[in-house]
Amino acid sequence: MRRYIGVPAGTTGGVRFVVFFVSMICFGAFVTACGLWRGTAVTALWPQEDLDRVFFLNPHEGWIVGKGGLILHTEDGGENWAAQVSGSPNGLGGVQFLDPLMGWVIGDNGTILKTLDGGNRWRPQHAGTSAHLFSLRFVDSKRGWVVGRDGTILHTEDGGEHWRPQASGTQSYLYSVSFVNADRGWIVGRDGLILHTRDGGETWENQILPEGYWLYEVFFLNERQGWAVGKDGVVLSTLDGGHEWRRQNSGTTRSLYCVHFLDERNGWAVGVAGTVLHTADGGKRWESQSGGQANWLGVFFTDPQNGWTVGRGGTIRHTANGGETWIAQSREVKAWLCGVHFADAQNGWAVGDSGVILHTTDGGARWTAQPIETMRWLCGVDFTDAQNGWVVGGFGAIWHTTDGGRHWLPQTSGTREDWIYDVQFVGSPNGPPVGSPPAQFGWAVGRNGLILNTRNGGETWERQEGGTTDWLDGLFVQDRLRIWAVGRGGVILTTEDGGKTWRTQRAPDGKWLGDIYFVDPLNGWTVGSDGVVLHTVDGGTMWKRETVSTTEKLGDVYFPDARHGWIVGDKGVILATEDGGKRWRFQPSGTTNDFYSVYFSDAEHGAAVGTGGLIRYTQDGGTHWLAPKAAGF
């Protein structure tokens, strides 16, 4: 199944650690997701950029910052948002205003911007560093601090006209900074790092916690009372300025990215998979509020009733009753979905950008999000049964579940540079078992000719040499000896010895190929750009182009049996065959969005996914393709 790269999502304000890797390709020549080579990005009325931080001066006026230099401004409590011109392409991860006119934003590559007119004009300031900057705090119009990568601490005493470094004594990522006055401040970061200063940052005291909690945000009300949140649902609190930190019971193991308190009792924390927590007693008890399914990256309250949370894909929600209900203030752009897989007619999974995993238990009519501790693009998914599955994606990501996706654990791929676009195991519904234990033998393919193999269910992955540097987008595992892969430049790879040796072929016209599927050792299909459908009846020795009535890019092909097959592609194209590929006919999909992946558990039950959160499912072989009743993003 085709897996393209392009605009990987996933940054957070105090936890924008992903953006260091993302920024290397965000503004490259290829600006799409899930793998296809296109020259332009998808446009939308509402920005699709991740929104990292939100700041309000009062219940009416506020600002939001995010990826791609995005700055949004409202003067009516978020009923309407207008973009401000930042003048920077860099991701922005922190924002603070002292009054309606004076404010700062910070971000990637040493970006610091200041405005003196409410954001009508933003002027860059010289940071003296190219480090990614994650958090800022000004105590007045002159004195402020910024923290970021590699132990970076910057300080200004003239409103940012001059920034000078302060010695942190660490090379760790510093994710968040909080000052209560010009002298007392705290910084948190990786591995339980907490720094404290009593002299405005001239010296920093290390308050490393023995547990080594990974902390993303710190918030202090005064010189004594503060909170910090982080990975695995960690909430820490102190009543003595940080001499002693105690863990509070958050009631969740999902990572928390931002925390905000109004007073000693009322506070909120937000994080992955729609997590919104509220306390009315300083954190003795944290209660969950309904926050949808988005990955929330920032939260801010102006009073006990009015608050905002922002996150992935341009998502903004507002509450006017202290979080009892949250109302969308954005056209919540849904994730691009790159892969779909079913273990049976009812249980299926779809994956996409920003770590999105959706699960259905009714054949596709309803989908709910599953939590996973990553915000990287997820490009491919494969399940061997209703419990055991894998997802793969950006920068070598491989995750495995043994309980149907309730919990996902990372596996080591051996690469942090190459994207992985597809994964498949012997024993999955894609290929018949061959006598080996299910879910043991698997392959994954990706960027720069990457081929990975595991013989122990993913406990270890080893590279195989395919003899090509072409990006490999599609994979088919016939059994543990015969495997196929296709990709850029019309490359077709095959092995008959489990990957010890690979044979290279090229499609006749060199078109990009997105996927490949065999119904038996001889009969197979591969599909790609410009409506290419190639068919072989001799196990791949010869490939013949078949005639189909489309020139759209075709990204995926699937056959649940020898006669019934489906192909999906751009602009809502769905092609179906009932005679083993002799004739392909269009099926109405009811959409012009691009499809990236299709899967059928049998000749009647199937689903297809694509751009803008596109999901269609069928229970009658594609005669009718239906939109789901609920899709939890």
pLDDT in tens, 450-488: 999 999 999 999 999 999 999 999 999 999 999 999 999
Question: pTM of the prediction?
Answer: 0.61
The whole-number pLDDT of residue 11 equals 30
Q: What digits encode the pLDDT tens for the residues 493-545?
A: 999 999 999 999 998 878 899 999 999 999 999 999 999 999 999 999 999 99
CB atoms within 10 A of CB 460: 14
Say how far apart CA 5 and CA 393 lie, in whole Å.
Answer: 9
Torsion region of 34: left, alpha or beta (phi above 0 gives left; psi -120 to 50 gives alpha): left
Its sign, for the CA torsion 179, 183, 184, 189, is positive
**Pairwise CA distance, residues 153 & 149, whole Å:** 9
Token pair belonging to 545: 């182009």
Residue position matching structure tokens 């404010």: 103
Average pLDDT, whole number, for the chain?
87
Euclidean distance between CA atoms 566 and 449, whole angstroms = 27
Architecture of domain 337-631: 7 Propeller (2.130)
Round to whole Å and give the CA distance between 116 and 466. Answer: 57
Q: Which residues is 66 bridged to in the sheet?
A: 51
**Angle at alpha carbon of residue 534, lines to 528 and 535, rounded to 5°:** 145
SS3 388: coil
- Beta strands at 378-383 and 307-311: parallel, antiparallel or unpaired: unpaired
Can you name the residues that pair with 218 across neighbouring β-strands?
228
Residue 575 has pLDDT above 50, yes or no: yes
Q: Is the pLDDT of residue 21 over 70?
A: no
Mean pLDDT value of segment 215-244: 94
Q: What 3-state DSSP class applies to 580?
A: coil
pLDDT at 439: 66
Which DSSP category does 457 fall into? T
Q: In what order do the strands lie in the sheet with 246-248?
A: 215-220, 226-230, 235-238, 246-248
Beta strands 92-97 and 103-107 are antiparallel
DSSP state of 118: T
Give the other-Cβ count within 10 Å of 231's Cβ.
Answer: 18
Choose the weakest-confidence range: 113-117, 315-319, 367-371, 445-449: 367-371
Residue 150 DSSP SS3:
helix
Helix (H) or strand (E) holding 24, with range, is helix 19-26
pLDDT tens digits for 67-109? 889 999 999 998 888 888 899 999 999 999 999 999 999 999 9
* SS3 letters across 186-251: EEEEHHHCEEEECCCCCCCEECCCCCCCCEEEEEECCCCCEEEEEHHHCEEEECCCCCCCEEECCC
DSSP secondary structure of 504-516? EEE-TT---EEEE
Count of C-beta atoms within a 10 Å radius of residue 144: 27
Q: By three-state DSSP, how is residue 442 classified?
A: strand
Band of the pLDDT at 36, cuts 50, 70, 90? very low
Question: What is the Cα–Cα distance from 537 to 542, expressed in whole angstroms?
Answer: 8
Beta carbons of 193 and 214 less than 8 angstroms apart: no
Please give the pLDDT value at position 29: 28
- Nearest Cα to 47, choosing from 312, 292, 375? 312
CA-to-CA distance for 482 and 490, rounded, in angstroms? 19
| Exposure on the CB side of residue 557, measured as CA atoms within 13 A | 32
The H or E element that residue 287 is part of is strand 287-290
Q: What radius of gyration do the chain's Cα atoms show?
A: 25
- Residue 503's CB: how many other CB atoms inside 10 A? 12
**Residue 47 and residue 67: Cα distance in Å, rounded?**
10
- Cβ atoms of residues 74 and 65 within 8 Å: no
Domain edges within the chain: 267-332, 337-631
